[in-house]
Structure 1
Amino acid sequence: MDMESQEPKVTQKKARPVISSGNVELDSRMGGGLPGGSLVLIEGGSGSGKSVLSQQIMYGALKDGYRISLFTSESTVRSIIPQMSSIDMDIQDFLLMRRMRVYPVEFSKIGEDATVRLFRAMMKEVKSDVIVVDSLTSAMTVDVDESRILSFFEEAKRLCDTGKTVIVTLHPGGAVASYLDRLRSICDANLVLLSEADGQRMVKMLKVVKIRGGASATGAIVGFEVEPGWGMRVIPISKARG
Structure 2
Amino acid sequence: MFYEEVFSDLKEEEKALLEFISSGNLEIDRKLEGGVPVGSLCLLEGGNDSGKSIFLQQIMWGALNQDKRVLALATEKTSKELLNQMESLKHGISDYFIIGRAKIFEINAGYVEENPQLSESLLQVLLECIKRCKEELILIDSLTIFAVNASENAVLNFFTECVKLCDNGKTILISVHGYAFSQSVLYRLRSVCSVCLELRIEQVGDQWIKTMEIQKLRGARKTRGNLLSFDVDSKFGLKIIPVSKVKA
Give the TM-score normalised by structure 2: 0.86
Partner in structure 2 of residue 140 of structure 1: 147
In 2, Cα distance between equivalents of 1:147 and 1:240: 41
Give yes or no for the alignment of 1:55 onto 2:57: yes
1:128 aligns with 2:143: no
Q: Aligned-pair distance for 1:219?
A: 5.5
Q: Which of 164, 168, 171 is equivalent to 1:158?
A: 164
Q: CA RMSD in A?
A: 2.0
Counterpart position of 1:77: 79
CA contact (8 A) 1:70 1:133 kept: yes
Amino acid at match of 2:82: I
Q: Which amino acid aligns with 1:97?
A: I
User: Which is greater in Rg?
Assistant: 1
Deviation at 1:138, TM superposition (A): 1.2
Once the two structures are superposed, residues 34-91 of structure 1 have per-residue CA deviations (whole angstroms, 9 ceiling, x without a partner) of 1100000111111100000011011000000000000011111111111011111011
Q: Give the Å deviation of 1:153.
A: 0.5
1:202 pairs, out of 196, 208, 211, with 208
Distance 1:218 1:38, change over 3 A: farther
Which consecutive residues of structure 2, in runs of 5 or more, have no partner in the other structure? 1-15, 113-117
Structure 1 stretches lacking a partner, 5+ long: 1-13
Residues 211 and 218, structure 1, Cα contact 8 Å, conserved in 2: no
1:142: how far off? 2.2
Higher helix share: 2
CA–CA distance in structure 2, aligned partners of residues 47 and 68 of structure 1: 23
Query: CA 1:241/1:74 → structure 2, altered by over 3 Å: closer, same or farther?
Result: farther
Judged with a 3 Å threshold, the aligned counterparts in structure 2 of structure 1 residues 238 and 109 are, in CA distance, closer, same or farther, namely same
- Find the residue that maps to 2:240 and give its secondary structure: strand
Instruction: Give, in angstroms, the shift of residue 215 of structure 1.
Output: 3.5
Relative to structure 1, the CA distance from residue 218 to residue 170 in structure 2 (aligned partners, 3 Å threshold; closer, same or farther) is farther
**Equivalent-residue separation in structure 2 for 1:31 and 1:117 (angstroms):** 34
Identity of matched residues, %: 35
Structure 1 pair 43–218 and aligned structure 2 pair: CA distance change class (3 A) = farther
**One-letter code of the match for 2:49?**
G
Residue 34 of structure 1 corresponds to which residue in structure 2? 36
Q: How does 1:94-133 map to 2 (within 5 A)?
A: 94-110=96-112, 111-113=118-120, 114-125=122-133, 127-133=134-140
Q: In structure 1, how many angstroms separate the alpha carbons of the residues matched to 2:141 and 2:28?
A: 20
Q: Describe the shift of the 1:34–1:174 C-alpha distance in structure 2 as closer, same or farther (beyond 3 A).
A: closer
Return the offset for 1:156: 0.2
Distance 1:175 1:42, change over 3 A: closer
Deviations 1:121-170 (A, max 9, x none): 21121x10100100001111222x00110000000000001111000001
